[in-house]
Structure formats: C-alpha cells, structure tokens
Structure 1
C-alpha cells in the first residue's frame, strides 16, 4: 500500500497519480476522512481508558458512599471503553480497506493514459522481410503441427479452451529456454528457486492480485488457497514479516513456476494458438532492495531481459507502459515486445516492474537501517514466458520448407541441433 504519510501530507500528489491512471480521485477524500475518523476513534478510546485507569486508582482510597459512586461510574465507564474500542477497531478496518484500494502512485515519468498510450523507447533488431525471401510465413499453429511441437486439439480435448500440449521439439524448446534463462540469471547473481504454485490469501492480496486482478485468479474451492498467476507472488511473500539486513541487499531470486490465469475480459482475443492461455510456465526474476537503489535495479532487470531476447535473435521493441495500464502494485513498468510475423505487430514477451515499497508495506518486509526499520522495495521482471517466446522463435526463424532454424544460444541446450525439421508437411 502507499505510504500513509504521503496520503496525509501530500494528498494532491495522490490525486494526480490517480488521474494519471485514469481513476477517480474521490478515493483520496474517502481515505483522508477514514484516517481522521480513525484518529478520532483512537483519541476517544485513549481518553476513556485513561479516565478508567484514574478511577481504578481512586477506588481503593475511597470509603462508603463515595466508593459506591466511584464503582458505579467505573461500571458505566467500562461499557463506554468497550464501545470506544469497538469503534476504534471498526474505524481502523475501514481505513485499511480504503488505503489498500489505492494503487501505487504512478511515476510522473510514466506516460499518462491507458493501454494504447505507451511510449516506444527503442527498437532492437529488424523484423524479417519474408516477402524479400520469396515465401509467406506460416503461423505458429501450422508450424507447431508440422514440427510435432504443439498439440492444441488434444489440449482442448483434455482440458478445454486455451490449453495445449508441447510435444517433441516443442517440449525440448521449453526446457532449453528454461536452462538458458536460468544460466543467465545465475551468472548475474540470482538465487534459483522453485516456489509453491499455491498460496494463501495474504500472499495474493499482499502482492496486489486480489484487487483489480481478482477476476483473473483461480481460487481452490473449499480451501484457503489460490493458484498463482506469476511466481512474483510466492517470491514477494518469501520474506513476509521479516526484517532484512541491508548488507544483504539486493537479494535477487529467479524462479521457474507454472502460472494460471482465467484470462477474464479477454473473450474473443487470441482465441487460436498459444498466445493467450490459461496455463503456462515462466522464468521470473525478483529483487528485494532499497527504495533508493530500486530505480537502477529496474534498469538492470530490463537490461537482462533485453540480453535474453537478443540471444534468441528476435526483433523486439521496449515500451514505457502508460499509467492506466499498470498493475495495482507497479509504479513504473517497461515491456519488451517481440515482432510476430504472421500478426504483423509486436506482442509482449517480458515486463519489468518497480513496485517500490508498495508490496513490502502490505507484506511487512522491512530493512534495519541506520535511522530505524523501513519498508524495502520489490521489483519483478519476466525473463522468459514460455508460450509466447516459443511463438516468436518459431515464426521468426522459420524457413520455406517449414523447418525452423535454432538460435545459436539455444543449440547447446538442444543437443547441438541447428534446425528443427518437420515431421509432416
């Protein structure tokens, strides 16, 4: 959640951030009113509690009728204290609910607006000109069938729409991508992790996925557990309720995990193929660091993502995501989007988000600094989301006969194979 001191002392800054996201600023006034009601309730409780304690000291000294009057007053006051305590608890609950509904303050450098208001920061590589090569590119669905790499029909048969099997070279390709990504992350100093894919509500809520993204989350009926949509969730909660030694920062983790998403609101979008699916595997980077260092770390995460996509010999662009398209927890986010030839456009492959101290406040993750304890900053960055990366590789590196050239960086992880050959034409 945002820093309550910012809300109290800089409400106009919060209002401006809401407007940059395209959200109503009325919640700021509601939060300020709830904060005032909370403080008033605390003051009432403390006043009555102090009076109760003072009376308690007078009773042993009193005699006769005076003592009976004090006892009667104590009884009445006790009921008032209980009411005041209940009112304080209710006011605190209301305040916390309103405060938690406010997203992280969109950075002033992030473009204002919604999904289509991003700013392109750079292009890396040039999209391949298939017309100049004399053939029409096949989409990943046809290539996957020809290679025996993707089986969508059986995925639908077994699990329903937006499910698939990776088979043969498709499965090998995912394993190769995983190893390449993990090797790169280890070389950069990340600790490898295999986290749980089921988490309790606090982990999901603490990372901001039970707010605006709740409709996209799978909940296990009858159990207090959720399937994660990204390993960002269990990685962020890994150090919940802990105080970290600043000498150990930054702490960098890289995780391989399955991800589950309902894809709520995507009806009619990307219904064919494996661009938008309910389950996929992903390699995710996550960092705990200081607030001051988080901006430089954000650039490092982006650089590692660019390095990985460059190894795959993909043409891609980097965009600065608009404030209205940021998740609840992110203050700023950069996406890397790869060129998908048969769609004639760039599609998101990776993202890097600086969540500053927003998640750390919700999960109570602090550092013990010279001037006391304070929330740390958290950042996340996708290194490789498997299905879309496989789509980009197949379509970008295909050849006229339906075979696919393997990028050099992947060949050591694919038993030296230089080309994936069709099994059917």
Structure 2
C-alpha cells in the first residue's frame, strides 16, 4: 500500500517516529506528504555556482552531523536546484564562491540568483581563495560585501603580507581567516558590534605579536571570538604554544610543528575549551590535552612497537584516555615493525585502545600496512557493546581489507 493511501492520522504518527534524515528523504520522494511533522523540518543547504546556475550539493538537518544527501547528481529524484518544498524549510544556505578570473562570472550570477530567490533566508557566502589585502581582488571583495543584501553574511580568507594600514572588516563578515607569514603587519579593524569568528593561520614571524594584535582587537570589539588556530612549522617549544593555554577557541590544526622542534618537549599543554584537533603526527596530538576535546585527526606512525611488546599502542591508548570526551577519532596508521604472526594481536590491541572512551561515536582508521586477524570482527562487536554511542567503526587498508561495525 502506498503511504498516501493510509489515513492522515496514521501518516502523522509514522512521521513522528522517523529520524530527521528519513523524514526528509520521505518528503523529498513524496511531494504530497505534508503536515506538522514535515513542516517542522529545518535544514541547511550547501551550493556552488555551475554554468551560471546555483547547484545544491549537500543538505543537512539542523542539529545533525551526517548529511541527508551529499554529492553531485543530476537525476530527477535528486534535485540539484532548490526543490520548492524545501525553500520554506531552509534556515541557511551556504554558497562556495571564487573570484578567480575563470570562476568570477558564474559566482556573481549565482549570488544574484540567491539574492532574488531567497530574500528571507540567511545566505552565507564562503569566498574560496586567498586574497592579499594589497591586491585588486580584495577591493572587489569589499565592494561585493558592501552592496550585498541584509540577509547575507560572508566567510573570507585574507593575507596580510606585512601590509600596514587600516583594513575595516564589515559586520557582514562573520568568519574571517587571517593568514600571517614571515611579515606580520597590522591587524584588521572591526566595529564594536562585530561578532566575527576569527581563524588565525600563523606560518612564521613574531608569533607573540600576532596574538597581541588579536588581543588588542578584542578590546575594541568585545564580541570578537577566536574560533580556530592553524600553526604551520612553528616549534612546539615556541612561546606561542604555551600562550594557547590562556585563549578560548574551538579548534587547533598543527602542520609540521614536530619536525621544526629541535628538542622534543617534555611537557604538554592543556587547552580547556578546545573541541577539535587536527595534527600531522601522534606526537603533536599527545602534546595537547583538553577535557572538552570532541574530534581528533592525526597520523600515527608506530616507531616503538616490536614483536611481543606493543609499546606504541600503550602510548596511543594513554593519550586517548587523557581526552575522555572524544566523540570522533580519525587515524592514519603507518608502518610498524612486526612479523605476520604478530599482526592479528597488534590490530586487536589497536582496536581495544578505544574501549574506555564512553562518548565515542565514530572511529575511522586508514592503514598503509595490512589489517588482518582472526578475531578482529569479534573485537569490533565487543566495542559496539562496550560503547553504547558508537555507531560507526571503519578500519581499511591499502590492500583491500576492511572491518566495519
């Protein structure tokens, strides 16, 4: 029986029992299905310009991490334009836009289309690319922001390049990545009412000066916040690292910091508010501790484990247990010096490194060496029972082996 042949009260009860994702999929394939359950759906859509049009490539329900659907598709059942039923449920639309010469025209046309079509929906324009403040592209960007309608906000990345002068950032810019290389220069100016989330990308120069500039900006704009810090090839022993302990931010990304550190640090740091950490190796990950850390991604090169003594896994387990609030762990595992007879025991112990993380929801492991063992499926089942929130466990290698919960 088709769902529309059911009594309205039965349809209503059925919809109330569905999760967001299933409910939206049902609504997308059954246009006549309306009512309080589907009308209450609130979603965010991601779009890109394509051939002077605006193409939707991802939709996510508000409050959900996994997308309802994602990826380019031009089939009729997967609307790459905005479905009419969806327009009234949109909370936010994000447009990826580039001002590169070959993409600029399509981007401006897509922006104009969103402006006329979604007057009452928040449109966030993420400008892709790096814009130096002393170049013409930056001036064009400022003009686009200044002439945009009230329902639009912008996310931009700029290079200071040692520039000296006043660069005023409009309140419509709610996400700003500021990249400093060897020359520091000035810091952009914000209005007292700005609620911009700042991402500092530091690649060299006087790192203390960068944080001082941000601190001074916060004195004038009280609602300014530091969302993310990316540190590239800055030694872990640099004073910048210890200053991070005193800052409030959500996310840190470390790139090549260990190899630029002449002497390995003996003491790590604790960042109380940090919720996400992306590191280029295990040592960088273990250098940071946070009781609030929810998501982590790093490369684990096990240089320590030998046959009969998996000391590297002991270090991994200890580092993970220092972050009890973890919900998502992504690890790229690299070579370990073991014989084939030890492989099964090694990976069994590897999987069990997560058994005490009670909040864990997702584990993803990529390995450059074979993941093999007679009891690994049993180990995954055990993890699924021991960790009630775990819904995704995926371990795959370069040899076609995979273990999935």
Band of TM-score, shorter chain: under 0.3
State the TM-score, normalizing by the size of structure 1.
0.21
Task: Name the structure with the higher strand share.
Answer: 2
Task: Name the structure with the higher helix share.
Answer: 1
User: Which entry has the higher C-alpha Rg, 1 or 2?
Assistant: 1
Which protein, 1 or 2, shows the higher relative CO under an 8 Å CA cutoff with sep ≥ 6?
A: 1
State the TM-score, normalizing by the size of structure 2.
0.22
